[in-house]
Amino acid sequence: MIPTLIFILVLLLAVGLFYFKVRTISQEIKLGKPIEINDNKLRRWKLMAKVAIGQSKMVTRPVAAIMHIFVYVGFVIVNIEMLEILIDGIFGTHRFFSFTGGLYPVLISSFEIFGIAVMLGCIVFLSRRNIIRVKRFWSSEMKLWPRSDANIILITELFLMSAILIMNASDGILQMRHNFHYAAVGSFLLSGLIQPLFSGLSDGTLVSLERFCWWFHIVGVLAFLNYIPYSKHFHVFLSFLNVYYSKLDPQGKMAHMPSITKEIKMMLSGNVKYNAAGGDEDIGQFGSRDCRDFTWKVLMDAYTCTECGRCTSSCPANLTGKKLSPRKIVMDMRDRLEYIGKNVRKHGIEFTDDKSLLDVVTAEELWACTTCNACATECPVTIDPVAMIIEMRRYMVMEKAAAPAELNAIFSNIENNGAPWQYSNEDRLLWAKDLEVNIH
């Protein structure tokens, strides 16, 4: 009875803490500007099935793709066993699903196979990060915490999978010894291979080992659940939503500014209106200076980032030595949003400070972007760093007149000459004056 009560309390505490953290993140995402995304629902469901579930964007890098599928699919399937553990913990039973008879050992053996696949994937990923040191995992923005975060998750998964195998091995030995609490349910494929390691232990030691691994696994999974929202691995949950709500327009198509669209339509129609005060209608701020100036979808992008670095490793500006790193911009967005959210909860929705996202993301980074969309193409969870960059550029140009000198010259030429060149309309064909070129 006491272990059951302890289990229920631990379960309720873990679920409660997870709920409150997720609600906090949801509130922070909602600090963004509203945007309606209700179009093409069928297409969105297909995209989510293909990209988020089918991992279609991972296959461009085969080794990482195969190992990620091992970890992703294996961890999901292995934790189906969590349902049995939950039932056993709440009702004090042992291997509740053993009533399935001969099917039960097959199920547990298949879980063990997937568990080994998870362990293999974790070992390969740890090697790539810490021994081979793949360049994109050691970029300047990948400081101590981002690197440690990935290692913590991978090592934790290794321990959790190991606990299942040891638990099953101990259980199997106790079954063969006809221990009263461990009724025979059949042998398991892989844990049976390691039973000789524990066969010399006494019944009491084996029971303690089996119970320790059982508690270690369930408490570890619940701790893992509550760690994820603080980690880049929150994409485990958010990637499905993020892909569903991703942009369906062709890559490179820039979002219109509603205020500008409205002004142009009024000018073309000749229906220019003024507000009651007699001045021009307030059209608000151009572009985005800080997190709350972006839409909630852009803020969701920031929380969905896996920090895999595929965007940065494919960025031509970064590859040629420029300061731009799309991953860093997304990470900066998330860090700034967390800071704002914390202070909004503390001081209220009107919280402001004298800083902004543009104090972290430099003009050099923003103007290095060629808007080629290589980053958006590579992202396995359809994050669009270019949209963030364009919005910050708009603010710098249209609110602060802080464009580079080359662009300011182009803007001036367009305003004065109707073209980006420095020649007037009357002079633009002078290049052909002494050439035998027929100009119509």
The DSSP line for 276-338 is: TTSSPPP----S-SSGGGSBHHHHHHHHH-----HHHHH-HHHHTT-S--HHHHHHHHHHHHH
For the stretch 219-239, pLDDT in tens is 999 999 999 999 999 999 999
- Both 303 and 184 in one domain: the answer is no
| Model confidence at 274: pLDDT above 70 | no
For the stretch 332-344, pLDDT in tens is 999 999 999 999 9
Q: Which residue has the higher pLDDT, 77 or 346?
A: 346
CB 310 within 8 A of CB 330: no
Write the burial class of residue 317 (CB in 10 Å: 0-12 exposed, 13-18 middle, 19+ buried).
Answer: buried
DSSP character at residue 52:
I
For the stretch 377-421, pLDDT in tens is 999 999 999 999 999 999 999 999 899 988 999 989 888 888 888
| Number of domains the chain contains | 2
Assign 271 a pLDDT band (cuts: 50, 70, 90): low
How far apart are alpha carbons 161 and 170 in whole angstroms? 15
Tokens standing for residue 344:
């909004």
Domain span at 208: 2-30+61-244
Tokens standing for residue 311:
């965007």
- Both 173 and 307 in one domain: the answer is no
Query: Domain for residue 372, yes or no?
Result: yes
DSSP character at residue 34:
P
- Both 357 and 228 in one domain: the answer is no
- Both 87 and 202 in one domain: the answer is yes
- Both 176 and 69 in one domain: the answer is yes
How far apart are alpha carbons 137 and 308 in whole angstroms? 7
Distance of CA 6 to the CA centre of its chain: 34
- Both 175 and 76 in one domain: the answer is yes
**Nearest alpha-carbon partner for 150 in 327, 306, 312:** 306
Instruction: Give the SS3 label for residue 109.
Output: helix
**Nearest alpha-carbon partner for 353 in 364, 365, 341, 366:** 341
Say whether pTM exceeds 0.75.
yes
| Model confidence at 178: pLDDT above 90 | no
Query: Domain for residue 250, yes or no?
Result: no
Assign 273 a pLDDT band (cuts: 50, 70, 90): low
Query: Domain for residue 41, yes or no?
Result: no
Q: What is the mean pLDDT of the chain?
A: 90
